[in-house]
Amino acid sequence: YSYGITAALLAGGATVSLITGQPAGAQVAQNDAQNISRVVPRAGAPESFADLTQQLQPAVVNISTRQRITVETNPFAGSPFADLFGGQGQPTTREAQSLGSGFIISADGYVVTNNHVITPDGRAELEEVTVTMPDGTEYTAEVVGKDAESDLAVLKIERDEPFPFVRFGDSSQARVGDWVIAIGNPFGLGGTVTSGIVSAVLRRAGAGAYDRYIQTDASINRGNSGGPLFDMQGNVIGINNAIFSPSGGSVGIGFAIPAEIAAPLVQKLISGEEILRGYLGVQIQPMNEDLASALGLPANRGEFIQSVVPGEAAEQAGLQAGDVVVKVNGEDVTPEQTLSFIVANIEPGKRVPVEIVRNGDRRTLQVNVGRRPSAEQLAAQQFNTEEEDGQSSPPSPSGDNASVVGALGLQAIPLNVQIARQLGMPDSTQGLVITAVDPNSDAARKGLSRGTIVLSANGRDVKQISDLEAVIRSAQSEGRGAVLLRVRSRGGPAISVPVRLR
């Protein structure tokens, strides 16, 4: 999932400033005033946010942390000479600090913020968290709980008198165009208020089980992370979290964790309850036009399974690479309602129906949902692949034996044992090996190259060039603009790639 601009998580949050101007059509004749009234905002657009800010700002706090990081000063660290010269540079420690925002949600001092605000460097030891009130009063905070997956953390501060606090609202009622304000600590400038509107709801901004945000144009900058996004009733409908920015500064595209996601998790952190998430154990790819065309399915519905983790819930239930998951537990899989999000919110151990499309046929499998591993375990998890055997490079085209598949813009030959061994594949591997690719073809743009093995096309094994040509003719007769190839490169897993026909 890539973007032309950088998605930057800020150690202080995200907010968007509102730039106002004349309403469209303002410079018109007076007798057109009646028509203008149809597009000018009706009563309800605030003339000022001052009263609301005055009520809310006392509960919004600044958060600073102090961490101690061990630094290796041995110049030979990591080399064969490290032990010989270890005495010349012993490990030392240095102090690191971060600044962010947060908000108090109860009179007894529970504070909500982002996990990345209090753990900007996951390798460092957290020594102290300080919460600073708007009047400058500082409190040393206890970390009650944190959750890296949702990027949420809860702190606790203490004093004899009650703290001012704010409440979570219902973010599911937020609509595009609603006014919002954000209060936070951008660049260490405490108590900064910005305003804007809801730019989008259920916005995807990256990856993961909770990739579902409220987008706003209220200014969000470094230091705003963990701060609240308020609706016009003074309820917290989001927790400012990230921005899109080519430079690191606000460009009017900020993201907040919706309250409907955050509030239940915050309560679990406060109660000490373990946060469990559902897991299937699949590597997935969102549907796009090429995939949809190759499979003959509607675009923007379902997600494609590239591979299945051995031994996990999906494999046990019979899910396979090449399946398209269209519905889980009665909920449609869409770009806004992703497979990861739906499954993560299902209790591990629960048996649910999963509707799939396999080779054009719809079927429903019953899946006992597994438990989602930690973010660290997921990052380390690898799918089964064969090791390279260090043999020579892939074969070159060999005259008449290299057949041209014109509709895909490539040349290929049947795979045999000798070629399979050269490519580091098991002797039993069957398929076609690509010997040349037209650099102007979609196959080249999709990363297919000399030495790539084509295992199947549109779910059918291809052992001879005629097998692949038959699949292409069938796709053309059905009006499909692409063919889904199951391919594998040296040392890598098998993946499915939709290639457009020429």
Whether the CB-CB separation of 255 and 205 falls below 8 Å is answered with yes
Is 466 assigned a catalytic role?
no
Question: Secondary structure of the chain: what % helix, strand, coil (to 5)?
Answer: 20, 35, 45
* Cα–Cα distance measured from residue 375 to residue 80, given in angstroms and rounded to the nearest whole number: 32
Q: Active site residue: 98, 116, 150, 340, which one?
A: 116
Backbone angles phi, psi at 444, to 5 degrees: -65, -40
Q: What angle do CA 268, 152, 218 make, to 5 degrees?
A: 130
**Of the candidates 416, 16, 13, the residue with the CA atom closest to the CA atom of residue 198:** 16
Taking the CA atoms of residue 501, residue 321, residue 391 and residue 468 in that order, the dihedral angle to the nearest 10 degrees is -30
225 is catalytic: yes
* Residue 116 designated active-site: yes
Among residues 225, 307, 340, 456, which one is catalytic?
225
Q: From the candidates 64, 98, 150, 151, which is the catalytic residue?
A: 151
Q: List 362's β-bridge partners, or say none.
A: 357
Secondary structure letter of residue 284 according to DSSP: E
Residue 296 Rama label (left phi>0; alpha psi -120 to 50; beta): left
- Contact by Cβ (8 Å): 18, 193: no
- Distance between CA atoms of residues 336 and 356, nearest Å: 18
Asked if 314 contacts 367 with a C-beta cutoff of 8 angstroms, the reply is yes
Q: How many CB atoms lie within 10 A of CB 2?
A: 4
Q: For residues 324 and 345, what is the distance between their CA atoms, to the nearest angstrom?
A: 20
Quote the DSSP letter at residue 344: H
Q: 444 by DSSP, 3-state: which?
A: helix
Active site residues: 116, 151, 225
